[in-house]
């Protein structure tokens, strides 16, 4: 079974790829907004690094905590997919 930690890592990775695609598309269009997008990607990189370095903990969390954590991980993957789609569309339009 896939853990919430792995889903968070996938979500962060997709968002980073989408952000880099959006930045590349804006840079190819000559927009100075590409710098802002790259600055916005920096926290995602730190989040991914934190997720990967984090030691798995075998604490016995409550069911509500586990459900909330897994729901947050699914939301991270969904938003990562949205960001990837934005990056692909940005490259397609401006690239």
Mean pLDDT of 70-74: 95
More confident residue, 88 or 62: 88
Name the band, by pLDDT with cuts 50, 70 and 90, for residue 58.
low
The answer, as to whether pTM is greater than 0.95, is no
Instruction: Identify whether the C-beta of residue 78 lies closer than 8 Å to the C-beta of residue 15.
Output: no
Q: Tell me what pLDDT residue 47 has.
A: 92
Mean pLDDT of 26-49: 93
């Amino acid at each position: 079974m896939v853990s919430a930690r792995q889903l968070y890592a996938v979500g962060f990775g997709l968002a980073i790829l989408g952000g880099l695609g959006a930045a590349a598309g804006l840079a190819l269009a000559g927009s100075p907004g590409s710098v802002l997008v790259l600055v916005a990607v920096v926290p995602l990189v730190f989040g991914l690094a934190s997720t990967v370095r984090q030691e798995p903990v075998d604490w016995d969390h409550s069911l509500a905590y586990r459900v909330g954590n897994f729901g947050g991980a699914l939301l991270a993957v969904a938003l990562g997919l949205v960001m990837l789609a934005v990056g692909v569309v940005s490259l397609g339009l401006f690239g």
